[in-house]
Structure 1
Amino acid sequence: MGRPTKQASAAIKFLENLRIPEGKKAGSAVKLASYQRQFIKGALASDVMVACLSIGRGNGKTALSAGLALADVMGELTDQPKREVILAARNRDQAKIAFQFIVGFIEGLPEDVQDLFTIRRGSKLEIEYSGNGGGLARCIAADGKSILGGAPTLAILDERAAWESDKGDALENAILSGLGKRDGRALIISTSAPDDANTFSRWLDEPPPGTYVQEHRPAFGLPADDLESLLEANPGSKEGIGSTPEWLVSQARRAIARGGSALSSFRNLNRNERVSTENRSLLVTVDEWLAAEVAPDGLPARDGPCVLGVDLGGSRSMSAAALYWPETGRLEAVGTFPCNPTLADRGASDGVSDRYLQMQDRGELTTMGDTTVPVGRWLADVVKLVDGQGIACIVGDRFRHAEFQEAMNAAGLDRVPFIWRGFGWKDGAEDIERFRRALFEGMVKTAPSLLLRSAFSDAITLVDPAGNHKLAKARSLGRIDAAAASVIAVAEGARMVNRPKRKARAALWA
């Protein structure tokens, strides 16, 4: 990054003249970490209107937001009179934390400067400054109330990933629409969202012109207690901000031992990974699935009978197939979309950026047909993946009975046994339980697959009053076809292995 602009230099100088208001270093002068300086330089560059920072919890995000808000109110970032700063947080409690940080910074200023501030703590959290042309900072909750008519010189959207979807988007749009009146800037600061479809994720993945992005997110699939990646998500740890490296590692190991929601939350909040923390209804958690992934050269052999699980897609959805060898536990999965629209357009409309193109490059996703996948030809291509080995049976949805019969006839598979399964409570509950049991017992092994990771991250289960589970999507645009195909293939494989072997009867001669 080049030399900082005049605004960035002024912001850095202003912040490092403040006093830390609370914590173990309360009263000490603020000392910006290198990643904070980097963000200020990028956010206040001359051609930037929106700046996004994604970083793990406890790395000084709110304190940085409060310091920049105060700098703008006091006229350090712009010489416009009657400056207006909006600091929006998820709810009033979070907004109050940011408000208290600003008040704490003010209390560390000389008394004659403090006298220029009017602090309102009532129904509105506002800080008014009467010096240098005047300025007003408003701390608001992202509750969707209209703020049309405002003209902020600076807007800070704190913990944007945690905002309620519809109300948060409405507030963001209202704020951004007002920035153009006074050449204002927006700073969007948050830990990672739980998925790619979140608005904050799309800011990071598909930044429009005039956007600066700084994301501290480690590679996916690493152990939760991997120190190097922990420090990548928590750069403040090495510079005395937030948690120490030792604490992060100990918390990671505690989360690993507890598993479930504790581990998911640690990955999302402390490792800054895009992992859903709402795991009470997840089919499997990310760590449970990662335990099944092995290096390609460590995959079990294709020995014994092969079960083919199929989830046929409709005119716009994916068709997916899973090949499972129950005697060794090997699992392979492929997916196919129609050619129209393109994978790039599908990724954009589904909110997953270029993920489908990445799957295609990895050989996990293909395209076939125009607006629909020709199921007969597709099924024949799937069978070719077993390299001449026999298919013991095909498992599929009973409600697509006619389509399957036509597809199997067209693929020359009319003699292969077909097992009908429902995706409702009755069959679904059994298949999900058998799949989970096989996974937890180490009887499912697969090469790292972006297709399967993506599918299982979107797969949840709905639970009826009797405790039965059935598969469902976590979001309307989620693609869980590969997960559905895997569940029914593995479940049938488990039934196949557990069936008693029939003893051959000895020949009787008359």
Structure 2
Amino acid sequence: MVAVLSIGRGNAKTALSAGLALGSVMGEWDKQPKREILLAARNRDQAKTAFNFLVGFVESLPKAKRERFIIRRGSRLEVEYTGNGGGLARCIAADGRSILGGAPTLAILDERAAWEREKGDTLENAILSGLGKRGGKALIISTSAPDDANTFSRWLDEPPPGTYVQEHRPAFGLPADDLESLKIANPGAVEGIGASLEWLQAQARRAIARGGSALSSFRNLNRNERVSTEDRSVLITVDEWLSAEVKLDDLPAREGPCILGVDLGGSRSMSAAAAYWPVTGRMEAWGSFPANPSLGDRGASDGVGTRYVEMNNRDELFVLGEATVPTGPWLSEIVKRLDGEVPACIVGDRFRHAEFAEAMQKAGLRVPFIWRGFGWKDGAEDIERFRRALFDGEVKTLPSLLLRSAFSDAVTLIDPAGNHKLAKARSLGRIDAAAAAVLAVAEGARRMARPAAKARAAEWV
């Protein structure tokens, strides 16, 4: 009933939509009388572009067929065909009220990922509910959305029965100017449709040189990758993090107070903890997933292959619980991995206050808890303290695939004042371990910066 196509910008999506609408309105593959075709776009300007494609295709037909068309411009953008039982194609904007009462035989939702959330969902629901009246079909076509929560992303990731999905998205982590992956996202370029491969590579190199939102936009629009286009910067580079990894013989001892940074995951995400000893600079980190789905299946759905299985084999990632990670037993397991050492404090997200309180009670931990926010205020300070400690050589850890993976997916969003807060580089990324590390190291840096309290001698008065 529904076909979903995801492909890069410039691969003739709107022209394809108009061509399918023309064939349907003429009854080339649907002989129902009084056919009704809807070509829905984000706004009127985009709807007009689709309408102009449709009119251009009509004008290219032989005169005998062209004379059977009635084209209406103005408040309504319609193309009516009087032959073969009749048909009407309408180009509309994303406003659900404009199609109430319709009974479309074909609906084409163009650039679905760019629609406004509320109005777009209203229009989509109204269209799909009307398809059943006459056995209609729908085509949802767009460039990739910037995140998993977008309705178009959900069509791709969780297609309901009766849905065909075709997605032209390259593997994650490749250079932006990689030729073969550009071909995957832009199959039309090989056939002379849209931008050439040479132009795409030149634009990719320009975006790489500029970085930030320019690179994110290129990946999202031209490479069809599911990445956010907000202003962003990397948290740390690969080389900067590798400087903190040392061999076992060079790893500092567990001395002094232990700071435990914790990022509790939700029902589907990872829970992670990072232990940091600020006196010596030693850091250890662990992550956890529930057992269902398996680590192999999670790796496939997150686009990282067997990475989670490898982390499990290295004892950096463990499985606990069935559908969700139980917070109390999980926190107890983390403390066990400290060989019984009780952390001096636990640092976590203030918005998970109730969950942390319950977890600490179940784990039998009676230690101070320090609440930190992940927004601009607390986040900017914690990120800056973490970077300073790392660059000054105050963070040392064994090579960790868990932390490498987390930091490779971790970026910072930048507000107009230049403040940073932690975010994902891609929607399917797992940055929980990086968040836990930032919390632990930042709190350790604050403690080390405080002057030591001097004991006052007793005085007799």
User: TM-score, normalised on structure 2?
Assistant: 0.75
1:434 to 376, 381, 385: 385
Corresponding position of 2:457: none
User: TM-score, normalised on structure 1?
Assistant: 0.69
Deviations 1:416-463 (A, max 9, x none): xx6835327654331033346678999898536798489858x867x6
1:334 aligns with 2:287: yes
Corresponding position of 2:16: 64
User: Contact conserved, 1:233 with 1:271, CA < 8 A, in 2?
Assistant: yes
Alignment of 1:104-503 (within 5 A): 104-277=56-229, 279-280=230-231, 284=233, 291=238, 300-301=246-247, 303-304=251-252, 308-312=260-264, 319-323=271-275, 332-335=285-288, 363=312, 364=317, 366-368=319-321, 373-375=326-328, 377-383=329-335, 385=337, 395-397=346-348, 410=365, 420=370, 422-423=372-373, 427-435=378-386, 447=401, 452=406, 456=410, 482-492=433-443
User: Contact conserved, 2:331 with 2:360, CA < 8 A, in 1?
Assistant: no
> Structure 1 259/426 Cα, relative in aligned 2: closer, same or farther at 3 Å?
closer
Distance 1:460 1:368 in 2: 33
User: Contact conserved, 1:85 with 1:137, CA < 8 A, in 2?
Assistant: yes
1:78, CA displacement in angstroms? 0.9
1:262, CA displacement in angstroms? 0.5
Distance 1:254 1:238 in 2: 21
Q: SS state of the match for residue 177, structure 2?
A: coil
Distance 1:123 1:383 in 2: 67
Distance 2:115 2:92 in 1: 12
Q: SS state of the match for residue 67, structure 1?
A: helix
Cα RMSD between the aligned structures?
4.6
The one-letter code sitting in structure 2 at the alignment partner of 1:366 is V
Q: SS state of the match for residue 145, structure 1?
A: helix
User: Contact conserved, 1:421 with 1:427, CA < 8 A, in 2?
Assistant: no
Distance 1:178 1:292 in 2: 55
Distance 1:441 1:125 in 2: 64
> Structure 1 312/173 Cα, relative in aligned 2: closer, same or farther at 3 Å?
closer
Higher RCO (Cα < 8 Å, 6 or more apart):
2
Distance 1:403 1:171 in 2: 43
Corresponding position of 1:33: none
1:372, CA displacement in angstroms? 7.6
User: Contact conserved, 2:410 with 2:422, CA < 8 A, in 1?
Assistant: no
Say which is worse superposed, 150-159 or 115-124, in terms of deviation.
Answer: 115-124
* Number of residue pairs aligned between Structure 1 and Structure 2: 426
Give identity over the alignment, percent. 62
1:469, CA displacement in angstroms? 5.7
1:145, CA displacement in angstroms? 2.4
Deviations 1:336-383 (A, max 9, x none): 56x8xx669xx99xxx996599897564463349988353x4234224
> Structure 1 355/140 Cα, relative in aligned 2: closer, same or farther at 3 Å?
same
> Structure 1 97/493 Cα, relative in aligned 2: closer, same or farther at 3 Å?
farther
User: Contact conserved, 1:330 with 1:446, CA < 8 A, in 2?
Assistant: no
Distance 2:104 2:263 in 1: 51
User: Contact conserved, 1:455 with 1:482, CA < 8 A, in 2?
Assistant: no
Say which is worse superposed, 213-222 or 424-433, in terms of deviation.
Answer: 424-433
The one-letter code sitting in structure 1 at the alignment partner of 2:113 is A
Distance 2:169 2:141 in 1: 14
Distance 1:226 1:439 in 2: 31
Distance 1:356 1:480 in 2: 14
User: Contact conserved, 1:319 with 1:373, CA < 8 A, in 2?
Assistant: no
The one-letter code sitting in structure 2 at the alignment partner of 1:382 is I
Unaligned runs of 5+ in 2: 453-461
User: Contact conserved, 1:147 with 1:174, CA < 8 A, in 2?
Assistant: yes
The one-letter code sitting in structure 1 at the alignment partner of 2:61 is L
Deviations 1:42-73 (A, max 9, x none): xxxxxxx1111111111111111111110111
Q: SS state of the match for residue 92, structure 2?
A: strand
> Structure 1 313/203 Cα, relative in aligned 2: closer, same or farther at 3 Å?
closer
The one-letter code sitting in structure 1 at the alignment partner of 2:372 is G
> Structure 1 446/216 Cα, relative in aligned 2: closer, same or farther at 3 Å?
farther
User: Contact conserved, 1:147 with 1:175, CA < 8 A, in 2?
Assistant: yes
> Structure 1 389/266 Cα, relative in aligned 2: closer, same or farther at 3 Å?
farther
Unaligned runs of 5+ in 1: 1-48, 502-510
Q: SS state of the match for residue 194, structure 2?
A: coil
Deviations 1:455-485 (A, max 9, x none): 858x867x6x9765666999xxx99755532
1:320, CA displacement in angstroms? 2.8
1:144, CA displacement in angstroms? 3.1
Distance 1:294 1:469 in 2: 18
Distance 1:245 1:308 in 2: 49
